[in-house]
């Protein structure tokens, strides 16, 4: 067990502070990159999402400073809630971008399907409104499946953002989840992150 005078403790604190400051710098760089996105909706969503990430990492750094005793007067609960709010906003904006990209891919898949089937299908005898609603739902789910199957990076990004948002929603009391679900979501998100790091082409690109 190292003593308080041991050099291992300051080194760990330096590494931790450097890691947090690195996150802030990375989020600022991501914001600068997203400003130059071609499409309006992704540019707006990603820029605002990255700005919220900057604030989140700043809050996280302040909480770390408080935890190591450098600023004991800091209101821990207040800053924790601020961090959760900005993290949640960042993920919501990222999910909005994902939904926009999914809608574009579904529109393209629908156009491709319409070109393959030039003649409209004939309704069978006894066709009802309920049948029409069921057919619409089946068509929607099929388009969604085809769109995500053709674009694994979009599927991976959507799943990761959805799993990540469970924790801040629970912290803010917006949607309460049990620890098991939150833990499972964290595990799935971590696995998705590992895949993105191991295979860079699986990262959703900004157009």
| Mean pLDDT (10-residue bins), the chain, 207 residues | 37 54 81 87 94 93 83 83 95 96 89 67 54 74 87 94 94 90 94 93 84
Q: What pLDDT is attached to residue 17?
A: 60
Q: What pLDDT is attached to residue 124?
A: 54
The whole-angstrom separation of Cα 52 and Cα 92 is: 10
Q: What pLDDT is attached to residue 102?
A: 94
Residue 183 backbone zone (phi > 0: left; psi -120 to 50: alpha; other: beta): alpha
Q: What pLDDT is attached to residue 11?
A: 38
For 2-126, strand residue ranges (E) read: none
Cα dihedral 178→203→98→33 (10° resolution): 120
Q: Which two tokens stand for residue 190?
A: 């971590």
Q: What pLDDT is attached to residue 50?
A: 94
Helical axes 129-150 vs 76-116, angle rounded to 10°: 110
Q: What pLDDT is attached to residue 123?
A: 52
For 88-199, strand residue ranges (E) read: none
The whole-angstrom separation of Cα 199 and Cα 176 is: 33
Which residues, 6+ apart, have CB-to-CB distance to 91 below 8 Å? 49, 161, 164, 165, 168
**Phi and psi at residue 73, to the nearest 5°:** -80, -10
């Amino acid at each position: 067990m190292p003593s308080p005078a041991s050099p291992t403790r300051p080194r760990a604190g330096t590494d931790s502070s450097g890691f947090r400051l690195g996150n802030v710098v990375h989020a600022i760089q991501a914001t600068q990159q997203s400003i130059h996105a071609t499409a309006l909706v992704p540019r707006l969503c990603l820029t605002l999402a990255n700005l919220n990430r900057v604030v989140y990492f700043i809050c996280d750094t302040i909480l770390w400073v408080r935890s190591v005793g450098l600023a004991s007067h800091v209101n821990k609960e207040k800053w924790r809630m601020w961090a959760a709010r900005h993290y949640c906003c960042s993920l919501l904006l990222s999910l909005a971008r994902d939904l926009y990209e999914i809608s574009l891919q579904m529109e393209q898949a629908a156009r491709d399907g319409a070109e393959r089937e030039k003649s409209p299908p004939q309704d069978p005898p006894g066709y009802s409104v309920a049948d029409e609603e069921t057919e619409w739902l089946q068509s929607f789910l099929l388009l969604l499946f085809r769109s995500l199957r053709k674009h694994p990076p979009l599927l991976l990004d959507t799943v990761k953002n959805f799993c990540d948002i469970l924790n801040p929603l629970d912290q803010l009391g917006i949607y309460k989840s049990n620890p098991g679900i939150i833990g499972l979501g964290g595990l799935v998100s971590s696995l998705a992150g590992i895949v993105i790091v191991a295979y860079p082409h699986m990262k959703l690109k900004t157009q």
